[in-house]
Amino acid sequence: MRAPALLCALPAVLATACTAPLREEINWNRVDLARERTAIEAFQAHDQKLQDVGWKLVRGNAGICARTIPAVGLQLQDMASYGSPAIARRALGLARDFAVQTAAAESPAGQSGAFRPNREIAALSGTDPNQWEAGARFDWERLARAHDHVDAVLADRGALTVAFADGGEAALAPVPVCATRFELMGEGRRAVADGNRVVIGIRFPAFAYPEDMFAGVVAHELAHNLLGHSDWLDHHGRRQGNVRRAEREADRLMPWLLANAGYDPEAALRFMQEWGPRHSGGILRERSHDGWDERAEFIAAELPAIQALLEESGKADWSVHFRREIAPLPAASSEQGASAGG
């Protein structure tokens, strides 16, 4: 589930490291560093696409979602999370463990121009995460800790200063976004949401779709978080009918989230029409879900209201105008009208 820990599916060292016995000896003659770097860069390219789209969604809906945090759109990487930190470090030409992974397009980090991929990091607002202890490999916890640190600094001080190993420095001022992190998983075709994160497998087919259609599936997962589905299902039980209602809500909210992010809300419908017939046996079509054609109809039914709101006010305020099908838990979602039964 944790993104960086699951790089096993990547080719090269990251793959072999998954099955190789634990030992420190590396035969460098047998390591193709160019291939390692290419594998890491392929992972980063997918992550960039995910972070770009995720940023637009959480930024564009920030004025509507119940819980926002200050953010800068910066994603780090930690060599300790790779299957072989020493090889990853050498492949990227790093002396330390922390470096830039992605800076989301249109985010403060992206706009600064300072956060090119793999630029080595020496400190985050005075704290050097390279000094923190880490496991021998596949340690994703230290990276999560660094992201927690960034969030805490932004919340406490309203700014983040990044010192690079090359002597450069960049200061970032945050903007509010809906509180969800996006993580790329190094293997698998799944997309899941756990309340705080959206996690998407690198082999998820929609990565190959046009950006606005890919954004549809990210929006579906984000919708689960924004609507408090994880907590609600924990509380009420994951019976088939409950899951189906949550899934239907997530589908129906997709075009609203897309619209506020500047995407064509109809891309949600195009996603379902493209995805549904090909993957109806997959994760999005279980007995707990409506059929893909029904799901497309539910999405299409939202579009006129969204269009009217966009013309009227320039945004699609789902916190006021979206019809809930479940009664949200008080803590999970604020003041949203609920109509039980759906």
Of the pair 32, 286, the CB lying nearest Zn ion is at 286
The site string for Zn ion over 92-131 (x = CB under 5 A, - otherwise) reads ----------------------------------------
Residues contacting Zn ion: total by CB under 5 A = 2
Counting DSSP H helices and E strands in the chain, the numbers are: 11, 10
Q: Which stretch binds Zn ion (CB under 5 A): 122-130, 198-206, 245-253, 259-267?
A: 245-253
Nearest alpha-carbon partner for 332 in 191, 192, 193:
193
The site string for Zn ion over 261-300 (x = CB under 5 A, - otherwise) reads ----------------------------------------
Question: How far, in Å, CA of 302 to CA of 253, rounded?
Answer: 8
Is residue 227 a contact residue for Zn ion (CB under 5 A)? no
Is residue 250 a contact residue for Zn ion (CB under 5 A)? yes
Q: Which stretch binds Zn ion (CB under 5 A): 5-13, 31-39, 48-56, 240-248?
A: 240-248
Of the pair 151, 183, the CB lying nearest Zn ion is at 183
Question: How far, in Å, CA of 38 to CA of 124, rounded?
Answer: 27
Q: Which stretch binds Zn ion (CB under 5 A): 68-76, 201-209, 250-258, 327-335?
A: 250-258
* The residue type at 85: P
Question: How far, in Å, CA of 206 to CA of 215, rounded?
Answer: 9
The site string for Zn ion over 132-161 (x = CB under 5 A, - otherwise) reads ------------------------------
Of the pair 67, 285, the CB lying nearest Zn ion is at 285
Q: Which long-range contacts (CB under 8 A, 24 or more apart) does 13-17 make?
A: 13/39, 13/82, 13/83, 13/84, 13/87, 13/88, 13/91, 14/39, 14/40, 14/82, 14/83, 14/84, 14/88, 14/186, 15/83, 16/83, 17/82, 17/83, 17/84, 17/87, 17/137
Residues that bind Zn ion (CB under 5 A): 247, 250
